[in-house]
Structures are given as structure tokens and as C-alpha cells.
Amino acid sequence: MLVYAGIDEAGYGPMFGPLCVGASVMVLENYDPADGEPDLWEILNNAICKKRSDRRKRIAVNDSKKLKSSSTPKGLKHLERGVLSFLATVPVSDTEFFTSVGCALPKKPWTTLETKFPIAMDPSSLQIDIACLERELQRSGVRCDWLTCKSIDVKNYNERTTLASKAALNFATAMQLVESIASKFPTEHPRIMIDRHGGRIRYRQDLQQAWPDAKIQILVENNEMSRYRLDIDGRKVTMTFASRSDEKHMPVALASMIAKFTRELHMLRFNKYFATLVEGIKPTAGYVQDGRRFLKEIEPILEQNNLAREYLIRNS
């Protein structure tokens, strides 16, 4: 049996909205881990592909940046389709979705306006996709065991980045997910794939800081990948950092989609709220260039509505 997991983030650079770090865990019942990492796009070929447009109408699973087709809610179609198909459920709202992936919402005025589901997909089409994927997973001896996302709101982000860099925060959050996977599969030696953080090659020291008592073996450190085997109180984990992991490892692509979809849902609530205060304001994705435009437009109403800037705007 192989426990094959991926971790990726969305929202590393914006000035508005949360940093979201997602994880997906696939379990291959009859796969020998000695054979290396499997190609789940190939194994699940009858149900999934990498392309948004597919004549066989398979579910697209890829880097989230390649799947979001526009800045409107309809542009979330492929993210919604892929994430909900692997979750095997169609929530009635984003509140139910956040609960299903373990994402906590801060209690702020701009987090209260719910979004009904589905957003861009037809419910009956989603049910067909879920059934088709489930058949292919069963046929292939593969199980989607866990999809989750940690969301760090602006207040928490600002507090934590006064003590450390945002790169350190992103890494620490990813390692929290590694710890959760290791705890969930204490005897199965998960293989966890992660995109390189800041293009670095060496991670041993950071891993030792995350788990001071762990035994850490460097397997590979080169331009292609950085791979480590950890023994954490008897729980074994092999962790691989590699550039463009979301192109090579389906669980990382799926993690990217979960993180991006979760962040987009946060931003839908954010934009709905400010649309009630500033007539005709154009929604923002929260990234710096457009974020500055958005901040200029909401600046006049912040004080009169008791909206603290440190809860809204990132400090880095």
C-alpha cells in the first residue's frame, strides 16, 4: 500500500485575503512503494486529465492557475468540479464546504455573507462526475482519503509575520499538514510531495526545527529535488521538495486546487461585503496591483465602519 500526498499553497503574495495551504492524500491499496511515485493521471485516465477542455469530458486536475478561467465566479468552474468530485459531495453552501475541508472562518464583518453551492456547475452534472470518478477510483484500487485546507486570515498572518517571514509561515503551515498526515498514517510511511519553497535546495535544518527529536536522513539534494526520510517518534515519512511538483504529482495539483478554491470562496465573501458599502465597486482578487485600487476605493469607509486596517491588509 502507498500513501501518496501533496501539499501546496494559494495566496502567498496578495495584500487582501488569507494564505491558504491545502493537502490531498491518496491511498493506493495495491501499489508497491518501492516502485516510486505513480502517475495518477495515467492510473485514473478514464476519469481525469490535465486539460480544461477535453472531448471525453474528463475532470481536469492541474495547477490551479491553469484551471481558473476568469475573475468571475463562473471562472471557478473547473476548480469547483475537480475539488467537489474528489470530496464526493455537493455542499449546499460555502459554509458546509469550509467545514468539510477543516477550514475555520474568522468572525469578521467581511466573512459573513454566504455563497450558495454549486457556484458554476450544474448540480446534476456534478453528481455524474462524482459517480464516474468513484467508479474509476474503485476500479484502480485508489482512495481519496483526505482533502483539507488551512486558512490563515490577515490578522493571524500579520501577527505571525511580525515574528518571522511569510516564507517561514508558509513552511510552518505546510509542516503542520505533514504532521497531520504522519499522525493519520503512523504505520504506513507516507510519501509527501511539496513544491520547492523559494527555490531552495536544502531543508534539513528547517525540518529539524519542526521536529527537534526526529531522525532525518538526506536522500537527495540537487537541482531536481530535495528528498528526506524522517523518523518522528517511530512514524516514518518521506518528504520531497521539487519545482513544478503540481505538474508531476497529481496530489500536489489537487492540493493546489483545494487551496485556490478555498481562497476564492473567502474572497467572494470579502467582495460581497464591500459591495454593500461602496456602490459599484469592482471585485478584487486581492493581489497587490489591483489591491491598491481596491484599497483606494474603500479607504473612505474604513473608519466610519470601524474596520481595522491590520485585520484587512497584510503587512508584507
Q: Which residue has the higher pLDDT, 185 or 73?
A: 185
Average pLDDT for 213-230: 97
Domain ranges for the chain, please list them: 2-268
Task: Please tell me what DSSP assigns to residue 110.
Answer: G
The Cα 89–Cα 123 span in angstroms is 10
The separation between the first and the last C-alpha atoms of the chain, rounded to the nearest angstrom, is 42
- Interval 75-96: pLDDT, tens: 999 999 999 999 999 999 999 9
Phi, psi of 263 (to 5 degrees): -65, -40
Superfamily of domain covering 2-268: Ribonuclease H-like superfamily/Ribonuclease H (3.30.420.10)
C-alpha cell at 262: 478555498
How many angstroms separate the CA atoms of 64 and 45, rounded?
A: 19
**Contact (Cβ atoms closer than 8 angstroms) between residue 61 and residue 68:** no
Q: Is the pLDDT of residue 300 over 90?
A: yes
Give me the phi and psi of 314, to 5 degrees please: -70, 150
pTM attached to this predicted model: 0.96
pLDDT, residue 286, reads: 95
In contact, 309 and 302? CB cutoff 8 Å: yes
pLDDT digits (tens, 9 = 90+) for 127-150: 999 999 999 999 999 999 999 999
